[in-house]
A and B are shown apart, each in its own frame.
Chain A
């Protein structure tokens, strides 16, 4: 996949190894649990089985039954219990077997966990993570991108990485953060991309976007799997003389306004690409941000290339039609470049 490795390297480290996106997540949990006995993992089938996708393989063997907890199928109870543990200074990681199921715990997350610090000075340092996204023919209940339900909730942080380097560094940062952090793992990337990660401990700051490709004609803002799609489109655009700047948001809440505004002030055009559906997606929020803070810099409309406003359909033909792809991004960018 174009750009995957390029995005993964951040340079400095001495001995770097090529690992999968999934392995990066596993390593992050393993190393955080090794570093701090206050870190626990809870979820459905995370222990003996090692997680439905094997993201927690080997954790139970190393850390034992008290720290890697197989739970009943009760998402609200998982989040609620994690919240309670966090009040004692523990830092539980909760796995949602598929992130689609996170909505079963919606009240617990949005009303209990998210509001605690503002209302009664009670931080809840928990991480809620799980496989998200489509493109693997999982159907309408195993392909969701429910990030915006939570981006709309003050008190949460929402992360959606695109590379192994970021996945590991951001997950470690999430575990160490004093706030509830939702960590979305695009399952299409789990075993499809590899990247280099340093041998030593590192974190990636929450709330900072990354410029994946520099360009001067237009800005493509995206995140997660669509970064790779956008980079592929950018390569094709370059062949036609259009230099697109591709920015990986990485964190959706709080969003990195500075990086977005700096890029758009340079390119004067912005296309937002995401796999989430269009209405209420983050593209609309970014368009509003640009209208408020960079209206004078815009040479054209802020365009959105997103999935359709439908549930994620099951049949490959339907799902491919539903999802954005490099061709669609290329076409939208070309249209924008004309302004």
Chain B
């Protein structure tokens, strides 16, 4: 196990990470009970043992940033500010749920306030979508970063590759978290991907990647924080592989008997919450009274949230009809929020000489690769500056963003081994 580094996190931030991991687990524990009482309509998926990833990565984002969670990222939803009742009601198909019973589980979003894009069950599709949000945000001058998650299994879909390739060619401010939990339903990762490190996927797109211990929330946070800053700074997309283990079956129905006992035991001894609790206690950031206060807070909160959810009605049958189309301004006022002068993207300022300007391109000196000095005509500012160190570890602290927080950069370097670009 990597030794946990305090980094530059404040005491409150440490406690936030702890609280959200505990909340994540408590929400899921409550849902297991609801499932056993037949109050959950469909399947129930678990992120037991993976809480550090959802929480640590999402906690690295700013409020304006966009996320698109997958099925095992309830922790990210909670960090973003989704109330537990919404998650309960989604699973219970209640009328007060965000989708009013039209979809379940974590399949919901919020375009207006929380900036959450709803997933679909087909894996990988969020990658080009969040690439689009990233490009769109850049176009509007919003300086937002987008983040989504994918599993080891989902990293083999075609759209994973199409999406990451587009993100890389566009230098989209996008961070992809690859949760390698070793199992895609019943198939072990080595039967899906012939790579030891799935972070190596990034090499194919000329983007940087990190490998991080997914059960160490501080390591996850530090890697995500650095990736988010770099993406926001114009360095393009970054892939983070978080190594972890799916402690339960694919969903509640699956006893996961195909998982070897030793493997389960190995990972159960590395529970991310237990590890973090030990760390916080040793660092004197949390004591018995503090823990008790969090226990009580969670009990009270979840009892109320659960009560609200249980009292919500099922949707009226006829609600199945309608709502297929947006009917116009009365339904949705669709307006882009410009945070740059519109004059920059309208003629005459937007007008360009439409020719490729490619010094050295095709000269046989490797100029077709990621470092080819391709300028898009007369708007070279669109091509972000590459870091002088070519993305290798060690020099990150010299970058302006990291300069302000040297301790944190050091912590990231210690806890997350960086993969070079090539």
Contacts and interface: CB of A to CB of B under 8 A. Distances in A.
**B partners with A:** yes
Interface of A: 34, 37-38, 40, 47-48, 60-67, 69, 71-72, 74-92, 107-108, 111-112, 115-123, 125, 154-155, 157, 178-179
B342 A37 contact: yes
A40 B118 contact: no
Contact of B326 (A37, A62, A91, A117): A117
Contacts of A85: 132-133, 135-136, 139
Contacts of A87: 111, 117, 132-133, 136
B166 to A, nearest CB: 4
Contact of B163 (A34, A77, A82, A92): A77
B337 A89 contact: yes
B269 interface: no
Nearest to B327: A178
A25 to B, nearest CB: 19
A80 B102 contact: no
B103 A119 contact: yes
A151 to B, nearest CB: 13
SS class of chain B's interface: helix, strand, loop or mixed?
loop
Interface in B336-366: 336-338, 342, 345-347, 350-356
Interface of B: 98-99, 102-103, 107-109, 111, 117-118, 120, 122, 125, 127-137, 139-140, 142, 146, 158-159, 162-163, 165-166, 169-170, 323-328, 331-332, 334-338, 342, 345-347, 350-356, 376-377, 379, 382
A48 to B, nearest CB: 5
Nearest to A155: B324
Contacts of A60: 352, 354
Contacts of B346: 37, 63
Contacts of A178: 325-328, 331-332, 334
Contacts of A74: 128, 162-163, 165-166
Given A38-B336, A64-B345, A122 B162 contact: no
A120 B133 contact: no
Nearest to B325: A179
B350 A62 contact: yes
A61 B328 contact: no
Nearest to A107: B122
Given A80-B131, A122-B109, A90 B125 contact: no
A117 B324 contact: yes
A40 to B, nearest CB: 7
A72 B118 contact: no
Given A63-B350, A79-B128, A157-B325, 11 more contacts: A37-B338, A60-B352, A67-B139, A67-B350, A76-B125, A76-B128, A83-B129, A84-B135, A107-B122, A107-B125, A178-B327
Nearest to B336: A89
A84 B132 contact: yes
- Nearest 10 A/B pairs, CB to CB: A84-B132, A80-B128, A81-B132, A89-B336, A85-B136, A64-B350, A123-B326, A74-B162, A178-B326, A77-B162
A238 to B, nearest CB: 39
B354 A119 contact: no
23 contacts: A34-B347, A62-B351, A63-B346, A64-B351, A66-B379, A72-B165, A74-B162, A75-B162, A76-B159, A80-B129, A84-B130, A89-B337, A90-B139, A112-B129, A115-B120, A116-B118, A119-B103, A120-B102, A123-B331, A125-B326, A154-B324, A155-B324, A179-B325
Interface centre among A47, A75, A112 (most CB of B within 10 A): A112
A77 B166 contact: yes
A299 to B, nearest CB: 34
Given A37-B345, A90-B136, A81 B131 contact: yes
A117 B325 CA distance: 6
